[in-house]
Each structure stands twice: as C-alpha cells, then as structure tokens.
C-alpha cells in the first residue's frame, strides 16, 4: 500500500494557555481531494499553518509522502513538494499574468535567488503558458495581474502554486467571494488537477462547492477532529450538525 501523501499524528498547537489544535490525526491519500471544514474558530487556518511550517507544532508528527517534515522550516517543506494558496490573494500586481507565474517557477529553481535575475528561457515560458492554459488564463498572459477579475486572480494564484510541481496542494478558501458560475468553473479546474497533483486539500465554507468536488471530508471543532469520512456521511453526522447549528437535537 502506498504511503499517505500527508499524514498528521497527534498534532497539537498551543498559543500560551490556549489550545488551538488538540491531538489532530489526519491522512490524505494519493489521488484524493480532501475537504477540511469547520465553524469559524475551529482551527482550520492554524492547522494549515502548522502543516506548511508557518507555525511549529507544539506536539505531533507531520509526514509528507512518508518523510518526516515535522521540524522542517516552511521553505524546506515547499522544496519537498508542499504548496498552498491563501485566503487573501497574493499576486505581484504590477507584473503581467505570465510574469507572475514565471517568478513562481524561478523560486523553485535550483538557485532561486540567482535565477530571478535571468531572462526566462523557452522551457520556463512553455511551463508558465501551460499552467495558464490549465487556469484558463492563457489569453490574458500579457495583461497586468491587477486588471484581472476577482475569479481570474484566484485562478492565477492556483497556477502560481503549481509552479513547483507539488505533491500536496492546500487551497485555503479558493471559492471565497466568487459567484455561482465562477465557483462551478473553479471546481471543474481543481478536479482536473488530479492528474498533475497527487493530493489536494480544500479548506472552504461553501458546502455546495465541496459536495461535488471532494472525495472525503474532515471536520474540526474547537481544535479537535470530530468527523472524517465520505462527504454525505459526514454532513449527516450529529456531531457535525451540532457544531454548525449549535443544537443538541
């Protein structure tokens, strides 16, 4: 049996006397799209920051493709195949759309700092255009990133996150602020990434978006995992209903 793309064992994160994560166990298998959900304040963003190395876990182990990365810094985890997007879009707005992707490609080069000062070669340009094609933005390659519509900017951020050929992609609220048409288009594009990205984790509040996209759903509440399984089963779990609706019925 193949190793999990991501494995978390007993992940705990304390901020002073506040327990933000309490012994979270979670696995994401190769080929899987996992939804990570929970009420506001449940610990989702903290968990993503611990997974990617922005925060160091207070306790527990993190394995990426079978390799222990628990003590690795964020930049090292990125080099080992971990990529993420953010709730707040982070683009180089004064650069063109294709330049945004080229910078991301160069950041994953063998000598990233030095490569930033060299013109993009054909191989990098072909890769950048391929990523923009996947994102439906090839026709806007030479436009300023600042001129993109909101949904297009979201897709550009995902294209940038793919520049390092990640083994694990974490998408933090990718559909936030999108209309129904944009959300449907985004879901189809994320689903199409299965062939390029071994495992994907989607943190999102839009349950309609997640139902048709994800294979499995894990739910956090007050820093603990309270449910994990097929999406329909999890959404009917009494503990999940109580966490979202605040009812004991």
User: How far apart, in whole angstroms, are the C-alpha atoms of residue 217 and residue 213?
Assistant: 11
Both structure tokens of 45: 């963003």
- With 0.85 as the threshold, say if the pTM is over it: yes
Q: Which residue positions in the chain have pLDDT lower than 70?
A: 1-2, 109-120, 246-249
CA distance 84 to 72: 16
pLDDT at residue 117, rounded to an integer: 46
pLDDT value of position 116: 46
Structure confidence at residue 121 (pLDDT):
77
pLDDT at 200: 97
Q: How much of the chain exceeds pLDDT 70, in percent?
A: 93
List Cβ neighbours of 247 (8 Å cut-off, separation of 6 or more).
Answer: 241
């Amino acid at each position: 049996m193949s190793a999990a793309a991501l494995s978390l064992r007993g992940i705990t994160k304390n901020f002073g006397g506040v327990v933000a994560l309490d012994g979270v166990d979670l696995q994401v298998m190769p080929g899987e799209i996992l939804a990570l959900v929970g009420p506001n304040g449940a610990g989702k963003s903290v968990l993503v920051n611990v997974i990617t190395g922005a925060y160091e876990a207070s306790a527990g182990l993190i394995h990426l493709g079978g390799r222990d990365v628990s003590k690795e810094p964020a930049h090292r985890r990125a080099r080992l195949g971990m990529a993420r997007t953010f709730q707040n879009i982070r683009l180089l707005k004064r650069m063109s759309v294709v330049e945004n992707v080229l910078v991301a490609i160069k950041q994953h080069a063998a000598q990233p700092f030095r490569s930033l000062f060299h013109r993009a070669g054909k191989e990098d340009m072909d890769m950048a255009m391929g990523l923009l094609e996947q994102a439906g933005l090839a026709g806007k390659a030479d436009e300023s990133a600042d001129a993109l519509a909101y949904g297009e900017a979201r897709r550009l951020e995902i294209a940038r996150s793919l520049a390092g050929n990640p083994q694990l992609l974490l998408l933090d609220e990718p559909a936030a602020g999108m209309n129904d048409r944009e959300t449907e288009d985004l879901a189809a594009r994320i689903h199409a990434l299965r062939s390029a990205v071994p495992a994907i984790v989607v943190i999102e509040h839009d349950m309609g978006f997640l139902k048709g996209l994800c294979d499995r759903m894990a739910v956090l509440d007050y820093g603990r995992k309270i449910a994990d399984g097929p999406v329909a089963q999890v959404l009917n779990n009494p503990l999940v209903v109580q966490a979202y609706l605040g009812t004991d019925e």
